Structure 1
Amino acid sequence: MNTLKTVLLMTALMVFFVFIGGLIGGRTGMYIAFGMAFAMNIFSYWFSSSIILKMYGAKEVSEAEYPALYRMVRNLSARAGIPMPKICVMQSATPNAFATGRNPKHGVVAVTTAIMGLLTEDELEGVIAHELAHINGRDILIGTVAATIAGAVMMLADMARWSAILGGMNNNDEENQNPLGMVGMIVVSILAPLAAMLIQMAISRSREYRADEEGGHLCGRPLSLASALEKISKGVEYRPMEEARPATAHMMIMNPFSAGKMMSLFSTHPPVEERVKRLREQARGQR
């Protein structure tokens, strides 16, 4: 169901882009905006691992330094049928974790020192399983595509606002003629980015639900992952991650700023209570 929801949301985002693009930018504006957004996000996709690891000061560690963590990741990645990812550790007082890498062959799992000190071995295994589910599900690619389309909509909106302000909406090119007029254009240019962001956030939440479910299956203990999420949520609430950036918040297993206290529609993560509820239902179904 989560996969189907992601497909439907991605389709809705693309249809929305085509509709808005044709409405406020015409074909020419739509192509320009999509090309610019694609170029920026393909760069981000290709170099996302090095960028985010450097941003958070995550360092690759050796098996000699963290033998238990290596054993855990190796066993789970073998069970998932994906190559062993790189393992990185962040020196942070906030419990959290994330996965990155443009595909399973270039996967990276990063955890904070705080999360390793907070969770039991079973709970940490559930977190690692969740992150491996992201890698196996190619969620970095999905997030990049969603960001590309949403970014293109935002660029179109900027173009529309400037065009309206500068009086350029009344052009003689019938193909790019805009039917809304200046006031309508300004309204649409404000609402369109908001709608695109809402769809993008919904895609992110759907992928989190999927990673929870797949992670629960992978580690075989959904209740351990549920317990880990509850502990991480309280840890983030007590000490939000100071080094976190809004642009990368969706990559973390828990929102590093609020741990689910933001309005659900505008959050990159589902409510912790709902995630825990689903995992408990999953555990009951495995009995």
Structure 2
Amino acid sequence: MGFNWLKTTVLMAAIVALFAMIGGMIGGKGGMLLALLFGGAMNVFAYWNSDKMVLRMYNAQEVDGQSAPELYGMVAELAQRAGLPMPRVYVIHEDQPNAFATGRNPENAAVAATTGIMRMLSYQELRGVMAHELAHVQHRDTLISTISATMAGAISALANFAMFFGGRDEEGRPVNPIAGIAVAILAPLAASLIQMAISRAREFEADRGGAEISGDPLALAAALQKIEYYAQGRPLYAAEAHPETAQMMIINPLSGSGISGLFRTHPHTEERIARLQEIARGMR
């Protein structure tokens, strides 16, 4: 837990530094100070509200034991096995098979699954996926992933503002427009690199944790293989509109076209499956 809090602190510091850099480009020292204040306020806001924002982006609908008895009962059973409080459970009405977890701590966690993943996976496979998401909750990954998604989106907006409205140096002179374009391109990429630095290792650990919670690593391996196959050609529109949230998903939901294909937020599925198969052999 301590290491995850360290990662969260480093992430927040890096995000605020990016805010300061862009603010300095927009308005010199005064702009840098305002951006620092804005970045700090955004961090506080994201800590308390990022989970609600992400769920709203995906038009997620909360369900219970009556409206989605199989999914809700599955999550309840797995949460009990993991020794976790019962999270809120959401359904996203999208064809692409995918799922994610969010929330600032296990006491305020939520898990979400698309209707596509519920339709395409067997009960055991879906159980493996939900165990993976609860492992994220157990490892307290959900705070850093939701904050990074929220803040990366804010950085992109601020960088675009810098490009379109220009900026001033410390003497109040307009900055080189090429520099503005460079910031608009490089700042979001820097935010993505911060996310990627922690995202891949986090997925491997959640796979291992999910295998332990469910007791069935091969079901999760089969689920990953199916999700990878069926997700192709089925866009997840909310993820395309908010690519900074892609790293929260169990499988990268983006189409892979353009610049997003150059920056993988997830490990290769084949490697994840191989590791889960190794875990299964160790459980025999």
Conserved? CA contact 1:264–1:270, under 8 Å = no
Within a 5 Å distance, the mapping from 1:10-89 to structure 2 comes to 11=10, 14=13, 25=24, 31-89=33-91
| Aligned residue type for 1:64 | Q
The separation in 1 between residues aligned to 2:117 and 2:158, in whole angstroms, is: 41
RMSD (Å) for aligned C-alpha atoms: 3.9
Going from structure 1 to structure 2, the CA distance change for 1:155 and 1:82 (only over 3 Å counts) comes to same
TM-score (norm 1): 0.75
Q: Which has the higher contact order (CA 8 A, sep 6+)?
A: 1
Equivalent residue number for residue 218 of structure 1:
213
Q: Find the residue that maps to 1:64 and give its secondary structure.
A: coil
Consecutive unaligned residues in structure 2, runs of 5 or more: none
The separation in 2 between residues aligned to 1:232 and 1:91, in whole angstroms, is: 16
Q: Find the residue that maps to 2:113 and give its secondary structure.
A: strand
Whether 2:232 is the aligned partner of 1:237: answer: yes
Within a 5 Å distance, the mapping from 1:101-250 to structure 2 comes to 101-144=103-146, 146=148, 168-169=168-169, 171=171, 189=183, 191=186, 193-244=188-239, 245-246=241-242, 247-250=244-247
Q: Deviations over 1:168-203 (max 9, x none)?
A: 53549xxxxxxxx97997798464553343122222
Conserved? CA contact 2:23–2:35, under 8 Å = no
Q: Deviations over 1:105-141 (max 9, x none)?
A: 1211111222112111111111001111122222232
Equivalent residue number for residue 175 of structure 1:
none
Q: Find the residue that maps to 2:236 and give its secondary structure.
A: coil
Equivalent residue number for residue 276 of structure 2:
279
The separation in 1 between residues aligned to 2:3 and 2:278, in whole angstroms, is: 20
Distance apart, 1:35 and its partner CA: 2.5
Q: Find the residue that maps to 1:238 and give its secondary structure.
A: coil
Aligned residues: 275
Going from structure 1 to structure 2, the CA distance change for 1:137 and 1:183 (only over 3 Å counts) comes to same
Distance apart, 1:61 and its partner CA: 2.0
Indicate the structure (1 or 2) with the bigger Cα radius of gyration.
1
Whether 2:255 is the aligned partner of 1:258: answer: yes
The separation in 2 between residues aligned to 1:284 and 1:273, in whole angstroms, is: 17
Equivalent residue number for residue 178 of structure 1:
none
Distance apart, 1:219 and its partner CA: 0.8
TM-score (norm 2): 0.76
| Residue identity (%) | 46
| Aligned residue type for 2:230 | G
Q: Deviations over 1:210-254 (max 9, x none)?
A: 211211111111111111011111111031223433332222212
Conserved? CA contact 1:6–1:203, under 8 Å = no
| Aligned residue type for 1:122 | Q
Consecutive unaligned residues in structure 1, runs of 5 or more: 173-180
Whether 2:266 is the aligned partner of 1:269: answer: yes
